[in-house]
Structure 1
Amino acid sequence: MLFEEWKSLFKNKFLIIVIIAIITIPSLYTIIFLGSMWDPYGSVENLPVAIVNKDKKVTYNGTNLNVGKDLINNLKENYFMDFNFVDEKTANEGLTNGTYYMVITIPDNFSANATTVTKEKPSKMELEYETNPGRNYIASKMSETALNKIEKSISEKVTEVYTKTVYEKISELGNGMEKAADGAGKINNGMSELSDGNHKITNNLNKMTFGTLSFKEGTKKLESGMLQYTNGVSAVKTGSKELSDGISSLALGANTLSTGVEKLSNGSSSLVTGVKDYTSGVDTVYAGTAELVKNNTSLNSGINTLSTGVTQLKSGSSNVLNGMQTMSDSIGSVMTEEQIQKISQLEQGMKTLNQSIQDLNTTLQSVDLSNPDTAAIIKSGVNQIAVNSNILIPGASESVKQLSTGLVGVKTVLDQTGTTAKDMGLIQGMKAIDSGISNIEEGINGTVESETDGLAGGIHAYTQGVEKVNNGVEKLSNNSVKLKNGATQLNTGIAQLKEKIPSLNHGVSKLNTGASSLYQGTSELVSKNETLLSGICQLSNASETINKGTSALALGSKSLGDGITKLSDGSNQLNSSLVKGADEIKKVNTSDDTVEMFAAPVETQKMEASRVDNNGTAMSAYMMTVALWIACLAICMFYPIAQYSGNLKSGFSWWLSKFSILGLVAIIQAAAMVFAIKGVHGFAPIELGKTVVVACMTSLAFMSIVLFFDISFGKVGSYLLLIMMLLQLSACAGTYPIELSGEFYHVISKFMPFTYAVDAFRNTTAIGGSIRVQVLVLLGIIIIFSLFTVSVYQRKMKKLVIKI
């Protein structure tokens, strides 16, 4: 079957053309696809970026700082991106329409913020940038990477300015320390002369200290005696002051007493008159209350009678109201519609009866009766009946009518309701009268809860109160005589006191004058005490101060001498230290190289475990794997894998006839792909031979998988292969590390043929690691899926044999 299969292939020219076309698919796919991304990072200088500068120049420590302008100049000399220096409006429009992939704005306070480094709260220099990921996400990320370079260059520039300023200050500090060292030397020379003079001062101060001791003891005795004298004078002054104050108070009291006695005299006279008027009024009130008491019995009797009458009136009113209501109800029960209709019928019947009698009389009068006597009697009787009927019946009829109308009118008058007295019926009016009588009764007799609220209760309480007032006034009247006698005696006593007041005032005035003179004399003495004591105290304190001062001066002079010695030693040390410090500062290198190193002290040394020249080489492993899978899908779709040529011998021979062609196609398309990329894009894997081997193994493994699914499931198999391709694309870490994907992709990654193919390609193209595991896995896939395919062919062959 193998020979027949190849023979059949060579006879089918179209199939050969298809196979050749499919063989070129991996080469075309990788060449075209990788060509579009072969070296995008090497062409970043073509990526347009807009720069908007709003920065304003500032002065810092005498240096003009214009970081924004310096940055613009630096970017103009740097070609790692296509920088366009435009205004804000142009930049925003370009970002929106895709002209620029990023807009970098240098704010107006950019340089100003660079000068705040030494302030309590320094402000950071913030570069504003805006990207438009919706246009191209990768381009926006590449722009952000470029921004990091710009940020680093700005940091180095600002740090360089700071460093130059610091080093200038250090140089100034060194010069100052040299001058300070010279001054310290001069201080040391002066210390020696100062020490000699201090020694002489100390000796003289010791002599002076002994002389002040005698003077200090004498002033102590004088101070003690003078203190006793001033204490006595102060005591006399205090006593005279108290005496003077007491007499002054006595004088004021005497005057007040005099005025009070005069007012008391006048008041007592008024009191006597008022008491007389009061007692006279009390007698009048007593007589009036006695008269009121006499009338209490009549008043109580009258209110009791009135209460009884109102009660009876209420009872009568209720009876009248009940009677009216009963009359109304009776008339209502009699004068029903039916009764009124009967009365009307009676009235009409009586009228009809009268008319009949009149007609009968008229008829009889015209009848000729044979018996004159009988006829005369009958005619006379009928005539008499007619006359009486004509009189009685109309009157009776009118009476019945009037009676009926009257009863209806009476009921209307009884039951009528209204809002005014004219509109009210008798029953409604009587109810109002009855309610008024109830209110009158309640006003007189009180409520059920409190009978004392009524007029009767109030009058009873009033009469009781009148009796109590009468009794009280009687007692007041009985005491009026005593009140009159007391007022008279008080008036007499006040008159006698008034006569003694002038003598009292004269004596108090003389006493007050003497006390004032005594107080003035002692005050003059006391006023001199403070001056006298102050002088003695100052003298004593001065002597003590002089003694202490001279002692302290002597000790201080000695301490000063010790301090001068230490100061001299310190000035020597200060001089040597300043000289040494100035020398050290002079040794500090402040060259431009040092400033540059301080501004950018760290440089990164890039070391790579593997070398990848460009993005195309990095993506080649992924793209070659995808290209080989697509090519295997295509060949199995077009090649007649279910047909056979020659005699069917076994499933293995059937598979071998097919796989001999498909396997050869897999190897050719893999090798062609590798050399095509190398020839077109300069693809240079570190191990070209191993790369070709991995490509062939991968192509054979993919061909085995695709052949098995197509021969086993037909069109469904093609669908399953597409799903498998999608899973492998997402789980083989072709573009991003698998660690950046979800847990699902971590799990399936180990079972995807793409994973091992991509790893093997990366080892042979860039890393140079071992590919043993990957090759063994691919080889295992070839063997396993080939065995599966042989079993499928074997089963198909048996079915065909059975049909035959």
Structure 2
Amino acid sequence: MDQATQEVGALATQLPALSAGLGQVGTYLATQAHAGDATAAALLAGLQTSTSTLPTAAQVTAMTTQLAALDTGSHAVADGSSALTTGLRSLADGAAQAATGARSLADGTATLATGAHRLAAGTGTLASGTADLATGATAVADGATKVTAGTQSLATALTGGATAIPQDTASQQTQRADVISTPVTMTSTDVAKAQGFGEGFAPFFIPLALFVGALITWLLLRPVPPRALATPASGWRTTLAGFLPAFAIGVGQVAIMLAVIHYGVGLHLSSVTGTITFTLLIVAAFLALQQTLNAVFGPAAGKVVILALLMLQLASSGGTYPVETTPEFFRVIHPLLPMSYAVSGLREVITGGIDGRLWTSVAYLGTLVVVSLAVTAWRAGRMRTWSLERLHPVLEI
């Protein structure tokens, strides 16, 4: 209660100040009221001026009507624009189709031009062929005329021939038929008939045995005797000093072999004298050839060469099969080797039917003997030079 009394007293103290403030506010409001009246008057004057410039109701109605018409026209323009766009698209598609059609037309025009050129060329060819056909038709017509004339001539000739055919008897007809069916009669004659396979294989195995016999002979004898080299004898004498003993052994080989073949095996010899003589020539040729190879190449290397030569001769001599059936290499060396001529000559003298092949073989083998002895004589002359190594060899085979 005391506190409320105090607050009321404080408020009473402040009332004068509050009254003074309210007076100031009233003065300010009066001042502002006068100023607001002036401003309001100005605003009113402006509003009156603006109101005088506003359109009338009739003008507003007319403007509204025009706006409605404008809105309708804008919608029509929009619809026309859509139709125009659609038409432009259709026009573009049509233009593309027109371009494609133009290209197709151009290609077709080019094809048409090419076909026209071909047609023109074909027309020319057709014209030329027509001319040839006309020429050929004329030739056919002429030929047909000639054929007709020839047919008539043939008919006339056949008629005349039929009347001219002789009337043969049965025996004459048989004789004519035999002559027509067998115009030629073949007669075979064996010039050199062999009685068996022995006559065919003996000309091969006899030279083979003689060649091996010559090889064995030179294993026993020296091709160039050292004693003969130590003497002042000539090369020929030195060569013959080695050849003649070997040939004597060869003669014994021939005698024994031919006796066994003829009397023991029963081989028929068409010419005994010719077989013996030619076989001795073969022995002489083989001995002389092997003597030369031993003298030129030496005892060891010479025997190797002789064995190689034997192998070549077995395949190329034509003793078992015709040389024409062998490989080309053996056909080439066939005429160069001595056994080929030995086989050929023995076939002549054993089976008979002697011809020029025998004399060719004799000439070849005789020449081989002379040439081989000459080469050995030359080599013997070169071997007269002695050295300590030759007098006392390290190894002798």
Q: Which has the higher contact order (CA 8 A, sep 6+)?
A: 1
TM superposition score normalised by structure 2: 0.50
TM superposition score normalised by structure 1: 0.26
